[in-house]
Amino acid sequence: MQKIVLMGECMLELRQAKDGLMNQSFAGDTFNTAVYMKRTFAQQDIAFMTAVGQDTISQQMVSRCSSENLNNQHIFAKSDRNPGIYLVQTDEQGERSFLYWRDSSAAKQVMQYVDQAAIDELCKADLFFFSGISIAILEPQDRDAFWAMLEQLKKAGVKIGFDPNYRRRLWNSADEAKAEFAKAYAASDIMMPGVDDFKQLYDIESLEDILAFCQPFGIAELVLKNGPESVYCQLDGQLTHVAITPVTNVVDTTSAGDSFNGVYLGARLSGQDITSSVNLAATAAGIVIQHPGAIAPVDAFDNIHLS
């Protein structure tokens, strides 16, 4: 059994329904990745790492993790803050927009609960995965502690995985994001960006430019997603292209990249090669985007061989 820890923020998701009612669920990029990884690779020990409060929504969030069979060992439940919330609205043209209330969420404080004993436990993991959102939401004064923790994990032999998931509004400036991301690239054994991350942050989007940009960081495994276009993987310098079959009935692309990441990493850790891991991940993501919301129904992958 492999142990994977995914760190980040899970939020209460409110989704506009009929007659002024709202559907409530839980979502957040690394949480979504953890859920899809565990659903498809149940034999692996998957832990979501975050901080929550003492309130009922925090308790429901922890129960939600349990109901997805995640390991809750790295959820710190001592904060006096509440979880973040986001609201998904859909206009008459079907365009979605998001409103967030997350500036003082409990998850921002996670590093304040990470002592040496917690780091020692994390050092037992095979893979530690985080995203640009995981770092963006940290209290700025806690970021040094995060990078120091990552250094200890690397020294202990834990592989590091990173998805930039660049979100402009979460950063004070693009330069701040670039500086933090550079540390993440340098630490990463496996990186799973989208072409969009590079387009938005560095104004580059061709495969050649992105590979040249990443080259100095010595990332062993680079997985470059580009929506329905293609996936390119570079493993130890060897480039593989995998074509994607576009889905025609796209309902909601939320979590496409997150579900892809979860299934890809689960497959790779189970010993599958690059091409079959990408194919499984793309199949899963292709199903996820045919359902509304970040987390598809639990039976969405029934009858599909994903592991």
Query: From the list 31, 41, 76, 260, which residue makes contact with ligand ADP (rule: CB under 6 A)?
Result: 260
Interacting residue with ligand ADP among 282, 294, 295, 296 (CB under 6 A) = 282
Which of 60, 51, 49 is CA-nearest to residue 24? 60
Question: How many chain residues are in contact with ligand ADP, going by CB under 6 A?
Answer: 19
Site for ligand ADP in 217-236 (CB under 6 A): 225-228, 231
Structural tokens at position 155: 């020294």
Residue number, nearest CB to ligand ADP: 257
- The active-site residue, picked from 163, 197, 252, 258, is 258
For the bound state, the minimum distance from the C-beta of residue 135 to ligand ADP, rounded and expressed in Å, comes to 16
Site string for ligand ADP, 181-200 (x = CB under 6 A): -------------x-x----
Tell me if 304 contacts ligand ADP by CB under 6 A.
no
Residue 168 · residue 201 · CB < 8 Å: no
Question: What is the footprint of ligand ADP within residues 237-256 (CB under 6 A)?
Answer: 244, 246-247, 250, 253, 256
Would you call 29 a catalytic residue per the annotation?
no
- Do 291 and 251 contact (CB within 8 A), yes or no? yes
Q: Which residues on neighbouring strands pair with residue 190, listed in sequence order?
A: 161, 221
Rounded to 5 degrees, what angle do the CA atoms 42, 264, 150 make? 90
Q: Which is nearer to ligand ADP, 109 or 165 (CB)?
A: 165
**DSSP per-residue string spanning 250-295:** ----TTHHHHHHHHHHHHHHTT--HHHHHHHHHHHHHHHTTSSSSS
Report in angstroms how near the CB of residue 80 gets to ligand ADP at its nearest.
33
Q: In what order do the strands lie in the sheet with 75-76?
A: 75-76, 45-51, 3-7, 127-131, 159-163, 190-191, 221-225, 230-235, 238-243
Rounded to the nearest whole angstrom, what is the least distance from the CB of residue 225 to ligand ADP in the complex?
A: 3
Instruction: Give the pair of three-digit tokens for residue 163.
Output: 């998805």
Q: Enumerate binding residues for ligand ADP (CB under 6 A).
A: 194, 196, 225-228, 231, 244, 246-247, 250, 253, 256-257, 260, 282, 285-286, 289
Residues serving a catalytic function are 258
